[in-house]
Amino acid sequence: MKVLLNLILISGMSILMFSCKEKAATAGEKGEVATTGGIQYNAALDMTTINWEGSKPTGDKHTGTINISDGQLFVSNGKLTSGGFNLDMNTIVVTDITGDDKSDLEAHLKGTEADGADHFFNVTKFPAGKFEITSVTDTTGENGLNALVKGNLTLKGITKEITIPANVAVTEAGVTVSTPSFAINRTEWGVNYKSKSIFSDLGDKFINDDIVLKINLTATPAAAPVQ
């Protein structure tokens, strides 16, 4: 009986840990963007990556990347205080498949075919997204995480504030912001295609609401401080 209770306890703890790990970042109402000022760093496009992952309940998943078009970070007293970056939604790429399957899925995600234009990101209507910092708070976390970066994420014209754990490093040579994998609930930004939480008649033919993201952003000093 004791062994059985221990197994139940361990299983419950495992489920709880898994659930916490997979839980999407809470999306709240749009926050006030932090005022820029201090030393400006411009995003190095060739050293910045944003990876994404989407999945189905069957375990099937797809992975890919998306590029930023530009970005700026601002540092005061050696601390990241404000800034953000713009997403080029036309650069959505699928990395786990090739050939026609790859190009078909990329077209579907971008919505470049008329019959599925609004299934996902509808890049013709919404060619850009963006993230704008509202606050940065020092913290101590696992794997060297030292900051909670809160900011407004805009996709498909919808803006929600989210909080992202990150490792922020500031030196004279530049600023790096790297995150562990974190999830957002796509339906918060109107990406509702085959969402079981939106459509109740899908059975097991649905796509998970969570999109997993991982950001590594590097910025280098601009020509002069911003007053």
Residue-wise DSSP of 23-58 = PPPPPBS--PPPPP-BEEEEE-GGG-EEEEEEE-TT
The confidence score (pLDDT) of residue 224 equals 52
Structure-model confidence comparison of residues 113 and 187, the more confident one: 187
Cβ(212)–Cβ(181) below 8 Å: yes
pLDDT per residue as tens digits for the range 60-92: 999 999 999 999 999 999 999 999 999 999 999
* pLDDT of 109 over the 70 cut: yes
* pLDDT of 99 over the 90 cut: yes
How many CB atoms neighbour CB 180 within 10 A?
16
> What pTM does this model have?
0.87
* pLDDT of 19 over the 90 cut: no
pLDDT per residue as tens digits for the range 114-138: 889 999 999 999 999 999 999 999 9
The confidence score (pLDDT) of residue 25 equals 80
195-207: average pLDDT: 91
Tell me the C-alpha distance between 61 and 54, whole Å.
6
Tell me the C-alpha distance between 184 and 151, whole Å.
13
